[in-house]
Structure 1
Amino acid sequence: MPISSSILENGTKGANMGVVVVMVPLPAQGHLNQFLHLSRLIAAHGIPVHYVGAATHIRQATHRVHGWDPLAVPNLHFHQLPIPHFQSPPPNPDASTKFPTQLMPLFSATSHLRHPFTALIRNLSVDKKRVVVIADSLMGWVVQDVPSLQNAELYRFRCISAFTIYSFHWERAGKPEIRPEAGVLNCLPSPEGCFIPEFAEFVKTQRAFWDGISGDILNSCREIEALFIDLLGEESKSGSQWAIGPLNPVFLTDSINNRHKSLEWLDRQEKDSVLFVSFGSTTSLSNEQITELGAGLDESGQKFIWVVRDGDRGDVFDGEARRAELAEGYEERVRGRGLILREWAPQLEILGHPSVGGFMSHCGWNSCMESISMGVPIAAWPMHSDQPRNATLVTEVLKMGISLVDWARRDEVVGRREIGEGVKKLIASADGEEMRRRAAELKELIAVGGGCDELESFVAHITR
């Protein structure tokens, strides 16, 4: 979403109104990133924004953000809150579930943020007309004291798609009769394998703290999922909802300084010829699956950039990450046609490069929104959580991707032939070209619309 010159010219609006916004993300990469992008958009209106979290997670968020420099935004302030030491085990690539169980000790430790956070907002509220707290839906226990402050308002931020949120609500309600246009809900992937019992209990705990909120915020827009935004709005207890995505920049400035090597490699490739392969910040593939994936990419005959890295620990700066081994001589064999990256990659810039014609993705909502806003179709390979539902939205509703792996076969190792055929379909077939056309249409619709109007509506509401 671009920051318009009119916003910048009128940027003192929030400051003059005595309004301050406080951001409370769940300390997992996909959540940290969305909150940081949202902070940028609100700070552009001249409203002071305070982004809170443990020191290591603020460092993680600012170090990995794409497309802009958070340290150069004058209205954006970072507050390091104390969090007790927690065990940060490495991910287990051979676990029976792909859910990142290694993050659960961190999620549990966030309960200790409640009191230092409350002290912070009480201090901020002393000389302010209004303190606006925007908190992750999974951080309810941290912000439970906000309603007790007379000049504070609490808004819940939903980090996943409206389609996925509504689908889980619909199932919990016993699958009541639905409108014909929402018929895709009758073909949802099973919730089995999405979560572990400990996380389901964590989610249930957070739900208890959301009574009396002032509204919900979604990282989505009507161009992407209008029907499900409306359905979700009908169920909103607060009665107020703003769909203000994509939060990530949709227009990228290509700097010649400090360009990542992947972008220089992409400069030498033809338009729409490269597949980008990345499974996000929480996925750890087994050695056997990595071998099959590598062979499938090789046998497809297509060009690719492949990010080969393990899922995050609770503290991404603590300890050495596992280095997955590729087949002997693999990197030499694919040199010139394939680029292997072991470090954190600038995903948004890669997806925004004209040489990229497809994205093999786990379908985390961050990755989906970035791919949609950059106009890149997806080969969907969901791993856990909301990802299977997001994959359904991409392939069955938006029609801008293929299902690479059937969720019902999630426990199987996906073979090289199946992977190779999927890659060729996305990059080098008439079907793939149609998906690129559809993705490009969505990109254009979002570029001229998106959630800009609803962002303006939300800013007007909190500065009223």
Structure 2
Amino acid sequence: MGNIHQDQNDQNKALHHQVAVVLVPFPAQGHLNQAIHLSRILSSYNLSVHYVGAAIHNRQARERVHGWDPHSAANLHFHDFQVPFFTSPPPNPNSDTQFPSHLQPSFNASSRIREPVATLLRSLSAKFKRVVVIYDTLMASVVQDVVYLPNTEPYALHSVSAFTVFLYIWESMGKPFDVDDGIFAEEWNIPSIEGCFSFEFLNFMAGQYHMANLYRGKLYNTSRVIEAPYVDLLAREEVNGRKTQWAIGPLNPVNVSKGMKPNDKQRNHCLKWLDKQNPNSVMLISFGSTTCMQDEQIVELAIGLLKSEQKFIWVLRDADKGNVFERENENYVERVFQLPKGYEERVKDHGLIVRDWAPQLEILAHPSTGGFMSHCGWNSCMESISNGVPIAAWPMHSDQPRNTVLVTQVLKIGVAVRDWGKRKEIVRSWSIENAVRKLMASKEGDDIRKRAQKLGFDVRRSAEDGGVSRLELDAFVAHITR
């Protein structure tokens, strides 16, 4: 019996050696992060994985990933491509919308790597039986030459929730079929996309989605444990034709806490601070890498956190520029945040303010973390959900307002801090204080946390051998190595 299994394993390895996988991520932090996590997962199947992009964005993905070391994956290869020069303007905290329009030059430049990607694909297609191209849906134009290579198969990676993807597609089709009230309840008051994107980015998306029919199938960074009804809706023939899809999330590592070493000298100071706190007593406050708050809003947030009397880690840093490594330039001027006078001294016993990149995944995995005030980017949602941490939702732009509905209304694992309908107003300190207290120090918050912890447990199980997400992942690998 053992020899039979060994023969099967040897056959699988031989098949996998005949397949190369090329990952083409979109150059925003949450998208880069999901793609590099997927690279790790696929390389663990003994597949040759090639991660492509501008040199600065590949470096960004490698240096910011948490939960594993990109240099430890023997089958993972990075391809640094030249992109046209682009300006890297600073974020504008006083912009009409909070969409990071200052990153548009970076997005435009990164969409100009079609030629080097095509060259790589031709090279790989001559060496491998099959080349599988997994591209972010916002990078379709970059991989359009797959149609000229008969042994190359493209698959689209959606980096947002199934809930949000389905809504976008269903609405764009004119809502061609009815959806059960239990799946989209009227009282949820699902927001439109007004105010979610800049006009320029909407045009950019339209250009990418124009090439939507490239794909052979779709991948979603979600789990049926989280979004089964919406995954099923996306599988309907009216929406997806007869193409296959796989819900293979969470892509982020789900057992980060098991690898934590309390005595590790290189361990981040945030984690050492958390070691001294009680279980579920600390709220992480972080609004992602593209959020730029007004000075007045930062002061209100500071006061709200102080008055809540709850422990917190606040990641207080400006939004990324198109080139995140400009900070290394000696002439770079960092934004100075004006907190209330004497603020850090007043909160030093129960609050930690971090002004650099923080290990979000490890913080969320820490047993002392009991809440997460977040912009509800899908990458952050999945990291929080998989660690069983409830969310205080404060959406800023893009898919975040609809993810907020999923978190607070559908899954009921969070509370809303900001009413999206009042997005142009400053969220006042009393409102922030109330949201923090509700999540961290109330019976309602305890109930929300229990639901989040149960969902997190189920999601982690789904990623184990025999779990629903692992089975979908295995099915995808079996499909591309058939």
TM-score for both structures, normalised by structure 2: 0.92
Identity in percent: 53
Q: 1:328 deviation in Å? A: 1.7
Q: How many angstroms apart in 2 are the aligned matches of 1:34 and 1:238?
A: 26
**CA-CA distance at 1:111 after TM superposition:** 3.0
C-alpha distance in 2 between matches for 1:194 and 1:202: 14
| Distance in 2, Cα, partners of 1:141 & 1:405 | 35
Q: 1:208–1:300: structure 2 CA closer, same or farther, 3 Å change rule?
A: same
Q: Name the counterpart of 2:97.
A: 97
SS for the counterpart of 1:180 is coil
Q: Please state whether the residue corresponding to 2:234 is helix, strand or coil.
A: helix
Q: Which residue of 1 aligns with 2:309?
A: 301
Q: State the partner residue of 1:194.
A: 196
Distance 1:10 1:406, change over 3 A: farther
Mapped to 2, the partners of 1:377 and 1:422 lie a distance apart of 12
1:360 to 373, 388, 391: 373
* 1:212-253 superposed Cα distances (whole Å, 9 cap, x missing partner): 421000000100000000101111135200000000000011
Contact 2:191 2:420 in 1 (8 A): yes
2:421 alignment partner in structure 1: 408
CA deviation after TM superposition for structure 1 residue 323, in Å:
2.8
Partner of 2:410: 397
Matched, 1:243 2:256: no
Give 1:442 shift: 0.6
Structure 2 regions of 5+ residues with no counterpart? 1-5, 464-468
Equivalent residues in 2 for 1:23-42, closer than 5 Å: 23-42=23-42
2:215 aligned with 1:209, yes or no?
A: no
Q: Tell whether the 8 Å contact from 2:16 to 2:45 is kept in structure 1 after alignment.
A: no
Q: Residue 126 of structure 1 aligns with which residue?
A: 126
Q: What is the CA–CA distance in structure 2 between the aligned matches of 1:142 and 1:248, rounded to whole Å?
A: 25
> 1:227 maps to which residue?
229
Map Cα deviations across residues 338-358 of structure 1 (whole Å, 9 max, x no partner): 000000000000001111110
In structure 2, the partner of 1:254 is 260
| Further displaced range: 12-21 or 69-78 | 12-21
The one-character-per-residue Cα deviations of 1:327-374 (angstroms, maximum 9, x if unpaired) are: 221111100200000000000000011111100000000000000000
> 2: distance between equivalents of 1:213 and 1:413?
42
**What is the aligned partner in structure 2 of residue 52 from structure 1?**
52
Q: Residue in 1 aligned with 2:279?
A: 271
The equivalent of 1:3 in structure 2 is none
1:173 CA displacement: 2.7
Which 4+ residue blocks in structure 1 deviate beyond 4 angstroms? Answer: 9-12, 14-17
1:452 pairs with 2:470:
yes
Alignment-derived partner of residue 424 in structure 1? 437
Q: Aligned partners of 2:191 and 2:14: how far apart in 1?
A: 44
2:141 maps to: 141
Contact 1:166/1:231 (8 A) holds in 2: yes
1:173 aligns with 2:169: no
- Does residue 461 in structure 1 map to residue 479 in structure 2? yes
> For the Cα contact (< 8 Å) 1:220–1:245, is it kept in 2?
yes
Distance 1:187 1:446 in 2: 27
Cα offsets for 1:288-310 (capped at 9, x unmatched): 00000000000000000000011
How many angstroms does 1:48 deviate by?
Answer: 0.6
Q: CA deviation at 1:17?
A: 4.4
Task: Give RMSD over aligned pairs.
Answer: 1.5
Residue 259 of structure 1: SS of its match in structure 2? coil
In the TM superposition, residue 16 of structure 1 has moved relative to its aligned partner by 4.7
Distance, in Å, in 2 between the alignment partners of 1:388 and 1:222 is 21
Give the conservation status (yes or no) of the 8 Å contact 1:50–1:78: yes
Asked if 2 retains the 8 angstrom alpha-carbon contact of 1:15 and 1:48, the reply is no
Rounded to whole Å, the distance in 1 between the matches of 2:242 and 2:302 is 48
Q: How far off its partner does 1:181 sit? A: 2.1
Residues 51 and 76 of structure 1 are in contact (CA less than 8 Å); yes or no, is this contact kept in structure 2? Answer: yes
The answer to whether the aligner puts 1:442 opposite 2:455 as a matched pair is: yes
2:3 aligned residue: none
1:257 CA displacement:
4.1
Equivalent pair of 1:214/1:238 in contact (CA under 8 Å): no
Q: Does the 8 A contact of 1:11 with 1:47 survive in 2? A: no
- Give the number of aligned pairs: 457
Cα distance, 1:75 vs structure 2: 0.6
**Which moves more between the two structures, 189-198 or 154-163?**
189-198
Tell me the CA shift for residue 207 of structure 1. Answer: 1.1
CA deviation string 1:44-66 (max 9, x = no partner): 00001000011101110000001
Report the TM-score, using the length of structure 1 for normalisation: 0.96
For 1:49-106, what per-residue CA distance to the aligned partner results, in whole angstroms no more than 9, with x for missing partners? 0000111011100000010001111010100011011001010011111000011111
What SS does the corresponding residue of 2:340 show, helix, strand or coil?
coil
- Asked if the contact 2:131–2:153 (Cα under 8 Å) also holds between the matched residues in 1, the reply is yes
**Is 1:372 paired with 2:385?**
yes
| Matched residue, 2:184 | 183
- Aligned residues of 2:283 and 2:373 also touching (Cα < 8 A): yes
Query: Aligned in 2, Cα 1:183/1:335: closer, same or farther, shift over 3 Å?
Result: same
